[in-house]
Structure 1
Amino acid sequence: MKHGNVLCQSCSVKCQILPEQEFSASQCLNPKVCIWPGVNVFFEAGVRSLINSISIITSSEGFVFVDFSWRNIHFFMNDEWVEYLASTNMKVILLADVKMAALANYYKQNEKSVTEVLYLSEGLGATLINFRKVFIGLPLFRRSGRALTKKERQVLY
C-alpha cells in the first residue's frame, strides 16, 4: 500500500481503519485513536503511553496522530497523504519536530482536515497538557514559528 495501513490503537485488537475499515472497527465503542505512519515503533510506544495516561476522551470523531518528523518527509512530498488521512473522517493532529514546524504550520493553515499541530520540542509536560486539551476539544490558540508560504511549499515539492 502506497500510504500504509492506518490501525486503531485504542484497544488491543488494533482494527484496520484504512485502506478498508474492518467490520470490528465500525462496531467498536472505544474512541478511535490512530498513529500514522507506523514506521517508528518508539514513537508509537511513546504516543500510546501518552494516550493511555489520559482518562477522558470526549470527541466521538476519533484522532489520527501523524509523526510529522523530518525522518518521514518522504511521506509528505505531495498532498495525497492529507486526502488519505482525511478519508478517515477523524481529526488529523500533526506531531511536529523543530525541522518540520514551518511545513506543519502551512498544513494547519491551508488544510481543513488538519485540526491541530503539537510541537514535540515543547517538552513532555506541555505535550501532555496539549494532548489533554485536544482530547476534550479545547483549542490550543498558538503556533510555534512561521508557516511556509505556498510558493515555498511548491519549491520544496
Structure 2
Amino acid sequence: MRRALLAVLAAGVLLTGAACDSDSDADSTGAAPATTAPSTAPSSAAPDYTANTKAVCAKLQTLYTVELRDFGAAMGRLITYREAKQKAEIAKAEAAATTELKQVAAKIRKDTATAQNPEFRAAGLTSAAKVDASAASKGYVKTVTTLPKLNSTIENQLKEWLSPVAGYCAA
C-alpha cells in the first residue's frame, strides 16, 4: 500500500513539475496544446498477509504454554540439582534443558514456515537460529545457576530469541 501511494505521489509531483516547466512554442492561434492523460501502469497492490500472520501468531502463542513452560521446568530441575551438587543429575538436566530449547526452535521454525509473508518466514528462521545457537553452546543453560538468576534473566533472554518474530505478532 505504501509503495502504491508513493508511486501516485511521485507521478503527481513529476506531472506538476512538467506542467510548470513547459517551454512549448504554442502557435499563436490560441489553440490549446493537445494533452494526454497520464497513463499509470496498474501497480499490483502488495499482498495482504494480515489474516495469515494472525493465524501463524496464534500458533506461536502456544510456544509459551508448552515448549517454553517445559524449558522453564527443565531449568528449574537443573538449578535444583546444581544446588544439591548432584553431578549425574546435573548432566541429565542440562541435556533435558538443551533438548527443550531445541524444541522451542523447532516450533518457531515449523509455525513460521506456514507464513505467507516472506519477511515473517525469514524472521522465524532467524529466531529459531538464535535459539538453536543457545542450545548448541549451552551458554544460557550453563550460566543460570540459581532461581533468582533465572527469574532475572529469562525475560531478556526470551526477548533476544524472539525479537525477530515479535514485531509481526505484536498488537
User: Which category of TM-score, normalised to the shorter sequence, fits these structures?
Assistant: under 0.3
Taking structure 2 as the reference length, the TM-score comes to 0.24
Taking structure 1 as the reference length, the TM-score comes to 0.25
Which structure has greater strand proportion?
1
Which structure has greater helix proportion?
2
